[in-house]
Amino acid sequence: MNDAADRTGPRTSPATADPVGQRSAVQAGSTRRAVTRRPPDRKERIVAAAAQLFRDRGYHNVSVADVAGAVGITAPALYRHFRGKPDLLAQVVDRTVGAVAASTSEATDLDAYLAAAAAHSVERRGAAVIWQREARHLPEEHRERSRQALSAAAGRLGELIGTERPELTTADRTLLAWAVLSVAGSTSWHRTSLPRRRFEEVLRRLASAAVHCELGTADAPVEGGGDTAGPGAYAALAVSRREEILGAAIRLFDERGFQSVSTDDIGEAAGASGPSIYKHFPTKTDLLIAGVLRGGEQRRAGTERALRTPGTPEETLGRLLRSYVDFALGHGHLIGLILGELDQLPEKERRASRQAQREYLALWGRLYEETRPGADPAEARIVVSAVLTVVDNAVRTGRLGARPDLGDRLVELGTALLRSG
**320 CB-contact burial (10 Å; exposed 0-12 / middle 13-18 / buried 19+):** buried
Let me know whether 300 and 360 are in one domain. yes
Domain contains 59: yes
Rounded Cα–Cα distance for residues 185 and 273 (Å): 40
pLDDT value at position 135? 92
Same domain for 195 and 53? yes
- Give the pLDDT of residue 274: 66
Does residue 267 share a domain with residue 182? no
Based on the domain organization, do 60 and 205 belong to the same domain?
yes
The reply to whether 24 falls in a domain is no
Q: Is residue 225 part of a domain?
A: no
Decide if 13 is inside a domain: no
The string of DSSP codes covering 97-156 is: HHHHHHHHHS-SSHHHHHHHHHHHHHHTTTHHHIIIIIGGGS-HHHHHHHHHHHHHHHHH
* 271-276: long-range pairs with CB below 8 Å, 24+: 271/244, 272/241, 272/244, 272/245
Task: Please tell me the distance from the alpha carbon of residue 342 to that of residue 50, in angstroms, as a whole number.
Answer: 21
- Identify whether 20 is part of a domain: no
Are 186 and 247 contained in the same domain?
no
Residue 224 pLDDT greater than 90, yes or no: no
Decide: helix, strand or coil at residue 310: coil
> Cα–Cα distance between 269 and 251 in angstroms, integer?
9
The 10s digit of each residue's pLDDT in 137-196 is: 999 999 999 999 999 999 999 999 999 999 999 999 999 999 999 999 999 999 999 999
At 54, is the pLDDT very low, low, confident or very high (cuts 50, 70, 90)?
very high
Residue 388 lies in a domain: no
pTM comes to 0.84
The reply to whether 303 and 360 lie within a common domain is yes
Structural domains of the chain, count: 2
**Do residues 136 and 177 share a domain?**
yes
Domain extent for 249: 241-378
Does residue 312 belong to any structural domain of this protein? yes
CATH number at residue 271: 1.10.357.10
* For residue 19, pLDDT beyond 50: no
Q: Are residues 170 and 54 in the same domain?
A: yes
Distance CA 90, CA 230 (A): 31
